[in-house]
Amino acid sequence: MAKINVRSPYFAQVGVAGITSATLEMLIYTGVANTTWQGSPQYTLNATGTTNKIIFEISELIRDYIPASFDGIYPSDSGSSDDSTTVYVDYKITPFSGSTAGTAVESLGNRAFYGYGYFEDGSNPEFLQGYLQSNTTILKADDNPLRIPVDNENTTSVAFFNKGEQIYVWTPTANLKIEDQIAYVSTASADIDSYKERVEASGGTFENNTCIQQFLRNETIYPVDEVVVNAVEGVTVLKIQNIEECRYTPYKVTFINKYGVYQDLWFFKRSNLSMTKKDEMFKSNLIGTNGSIGYATNKHQYNTFHVNAKEKLSLNTGFYPESYNEVFRQMSLSDKIWIKYNEKTLPVRLTSSNLSFKTKLDDKLINYTIELEFAFDKINNVR
């Protein structure tokens, strides 16, 4: 069945001689794929036409049913569908010639991803591949696990190597629910992002002292330097760079990329936190506030209310290879971004509206600076 990327238009059509109108019924669901039409559709669309063909655009309607709410735990192991970026879609188109219904055309078990295509990818882009990132060189913090997003249906195996020795191999599981068909392959659990979290997850206590910090600086906790992905597009060899950063705190930003999966992007260098306050003001009448003629000098003549603030982070990547330009493009185009900040996964939005792509020829060493605004008010006002 088709693969639908819901952030780009997807056209479903029917062509019958003498057609004057058509009805499209669409069912959106999770779990296992239907093999027969189940009825009770969420949408019923009607259209008219005069050229023996009628086209429906359905991706915007599907998009509303994909939760894509990342909580720091990667979906294939989370046991929850709230963070899934995929759903199944069944649709049925019934053509009409006047008031006479023709034979309905059914399309069952279409997989919809929270992805998109570029203009140059053409209409109804599918991206039928296994490896679901654009970069084949991956930079990560050396104290953190590596996760490789792959399409379970289109991937044969994912093998992890360190210094030429295979340390782990993953093979897909057949007949998965739609929310599990994207696999985030890793040697670590889905909810572990550091050596500290690994210790605490196993019931231990992490003691942060000078000796431990020296150990973490000198040792790569998740030692992987190469990954080989076998998929329908062939063999893809990924080169992994484990970055040690002793001076600054690296931050992991996770965004939904072009292929509709969660992708990690690390910012290794200097970060700056700032805050912008907003409020409203009114002028008070102070006469008589002290119980007699005159006014109390400890009272506010100008009062402030509806005080709140937004915080913003300025992040620097450190030096990246030129091949990462496409990754930064996709992060800039993402409408769902999160950051691991103070051991919490928090929603952010990119406020840098311009991105000038850098090249090794012109810029020598490639470093990007971006600004992320936390996507919530600092004072809790959720009612």
Predicted local distance difference test score (pLDDT) of residue 49 = 82
Predicted local distance difference test score (pLDDT) of residue 296 = 79
Cα 211 to Cα 215: distance, rounded to the nearest angstrom:
6
- Residue 230: is its pLDDT beyond 90? yes
**Mean of per-residue pLDDT scores for the chain:** 87
Domains annotated on the chain, with CATH = 3-121 (2.60.40), 128-244 (2.60.40), 247-383 (2.40.30)
What number is the average pLDDT over the span 346-369? 78
| Cα→Cα distances 189→42, 182, 194, Å | 36, 15, 11
Closest CA to 379 of 302, 310, 276, 333: 310
**Tokens 């990818």 -> residue:** 121
Residue, of 360 and 62, whose pLDDT is higher: 62
Predicted local distance difference test score (pLDDT) of residue 180 = 87
- Residue 224: is its pLDDT beyond 80? yes
Burial 72-82 (b: 16+ CB within 10 A, else e): bbbbbebeebe
| pTM of the shown model | 0.87
Residue 33, number of CB atoms within 10 A of its CB: 17
* 3-class secondary structure per residue, 54-90: EEEECHHHHHCCCCCCCCCCCHHHCCCCCCCCEEEEE
Q: What is the pLDDT of residues 165-196, one digit of tens each?
A: 999 999 998 767 898 899 999 987 655 665 56
Confidence of residue 263 (pLDDT cuts 50, 70, 90): very high
Cα 187 to Cα 1: distance, rounded to the nearest angstrom:
31
Q: Which residues contact 41 (CB under 8 A, 6 or more apart)?
A: 25, 26, 27, 91, 92
Least confident range from 63-67, 153-157, 200-204: namely 200-204
Beta bridge partners of 312: 274, 373
Predicted local distance difference test score (pLDDT) of residue 209 = 57
| Cα→Cα distances 235→13, 138, 184, 223, Å | 35, 16, 18, 22
Positive or negative torsion for Cα 64, 70, 76, 77:
negative
Positive or negative torsion for Cα 298, 299, 301, 304:
positive
Predicted local distance difference test score (pLDDT) of residue 247 = 87
Predicted local distance difference test score (pLDDT) of residue 194 = 59
Predicted local distance difference test score (pLDDT) of residue 363 = 59
Residue 60, number of CB atoms within 10 A of its CB: 11
Residue, of 360 and 40, whose pLDDT is higher: 40
Predicted local distance difference test score (pLDDT) of residue 204 = 63
Most confident of 45-54, 297-306, 331-340, 349-358: 331-340
Percent helix / strand / coil, the chain, rounded to 5: 15, 40, 45
- 3-state DSSP call for residue 326? helix
What number is the average pLDDT over the span 251-265? 97
Cα 116 to Cα 128: distance, rounded to the nearest angstrom:
13
Confidence of residue 210 (pLDDT cuts 50, 70, 90): low
Q: Where would I find the H helices in the chain?
A: 59-63, 195-201, 210-218, 325-333, 360-363
Q: How many helices (H) and strands (E) does the chain have?
A: 5, 22
Q: What is the pLDDT of residues 115-151, one digit of tens each?
A: 999 999 999 999 999 999 999 999 999 888 999 999 9
Q: What is the pLDDT of residues 322-337, one digit of tens each?
A: 889 999 999 999 999 9
**Tokens 């400890």 -> residue:** 298
**Tokens 């669309």 -> residue:** 45
What number is the average pLDDT over the span 289-304? 78
- Residue 215: is its pLDDT beyond 60? no
Predicted local distance difference test score (pLDDT) of residue 114 = 97
Predicted local distance difference test score (pLDDT) of residue 93 = 95
